[in-house]
Amino acid sequence: MTLDDERFAPAPAVLAGDTADVYFVRSKQILDAEGLSPTVTMEVFCNRAGLLCGMKEALALLARVLPPGAEVWALDEGQTMDEKEVVLRITAPYASFALYETAYLGMLAHESGWATAARACVEAAAPIPVISFGARHVHPDVAARLEYAAIVGGCVGCATTAGARLAGIQPSGTIPHALILCMGDTVAAALAFDKHIDPAVPRIVLVDTFKDEAEEALRVAAALGHRLWGVRLDTPAERGRVTPELVKEVRARLDQAGYPHVRIVVSGGLDANRIRLFRERRAPVDAFGVGSAISAAPPIDFTADIKVIEGRNVAKRGRIPGITENPRLKRVNLHEGR
């Protein structure tokens, strides 16, 4: 990524300072009125261990606001981070970036929380792939960032076009319950999808809408044959959810009927613990779809502290003045590609 990559460009409201805590706005007004803009070193650290995400977006913002001569050091996107580890260090005139602390802390906080939760699900499922289905649980303005963070966390796919574009992949998804209900029959919906949608898109069909999951799986397999990539089980909680035993039954019936090529995707209320249940019981799952276990993950708090002013070590009470050494930080060329 170059820092002028428009995928990570800050929104106009962010650049204008509209998303800043108002005390930063007022602080900049005061410093400007007083003719003050001391060169400071600001350090950003996390309050718990996790997977770092949002750094590309934070650096894209800083590249647009910091002056020539500013110095930035950072951990790479997708690196693990320890509790209290400094992940970002900025040395620049304070007035140049005072308005943006709220923004870059929020970018890191939310995206790192999502990526960390995704990594937990991916590790529980390994080597079975995980797809992010969580966009429906967040505001659409941040859905792409959620999906991108899930990919950084190790998910192999995501559901939205915007999220896939940000991550540099193709979106994943085929037939919703709504289409099947509108068509009135699972097989009819599957055949219509197969007729009208690009053949490069894998044919994966929900089989829990009208009939028994195993029965529907066999009907769809008979209709599409080798064009059918897989079936998805998404049985709701009202019907007992998808269980390891159900997966085993569907697999056995598909195999017995001569459809061993048809894969099984499981979704619906999955988190790392439930994924581990499927793995421990040796349920033959070929992919997991995870939603709110990622999208509802708590943000990882990040804090920004001024540690040096005009070469003088400083700190608020409870913190140690001066730069915190972290050999993992890398110097960032803010003007690369700009």
SS3 of the chain: CCCCCHHHCCCHHHHCCCCCCHHHHHHHHHHHHHCCCCEEEEEEEECCCEECCCHHHHHHHHHHHCCCCCEEEECCCCCEECCCCEEEEEEEEHHHHHHHHHHHHHHHHHHHHHHHHHHHHHHHHCCCCEEECCHHHCCHHHHHHHHHHHHHCCCCEECCHHHHHHHCCCCCCCCCHHHHHHHCCHHHHHHHHHHHCCCCCCEEEECCCCCCHHHHHHHHHHHHHHHEEEEEECCCHHHCCCCHHHHHHHHHHHHHCCCCCCEEEEECCCCHHHHHHHHHCCCCCCEEEECHHHHCCCCCCEEEEEEEECCEECCCCCCCCCCCCCCCCEEECCCCCC
| pTM of the shown model | 0.94
What structural domains and CATH numbers belong to the chain? 6-112+298-332 (3.20.140.10), 124-295 (3.20.20.70)
Of 7-16, 185-194, 242-251, the one with minimum mean pLDDT is 7-16
Percent of the residues in the chain that have a pLDDT greater than 90, as a whole number: 95
Q: What is the pLDDT of residue 151?
A: 97
The band of 4, judged by pLDDT with boundaries at 50, 70 and 90, is: low
- Per-residue pLDDT reduced to its tens digit, 48-78: 999 999 999 999 999 999 999 999 999 999 9
Q: What is the pLDDT of residue 1?
A: 45
- Per-residue pLDDT reduced to its tens digit, 86-141: 999 999 999 999 999 999 999 999 999 999 999 999 999 999 999 999 999 999 99
The band of 334, judged by pLDDT with boundaries at 50, 70 and 90, is: confident
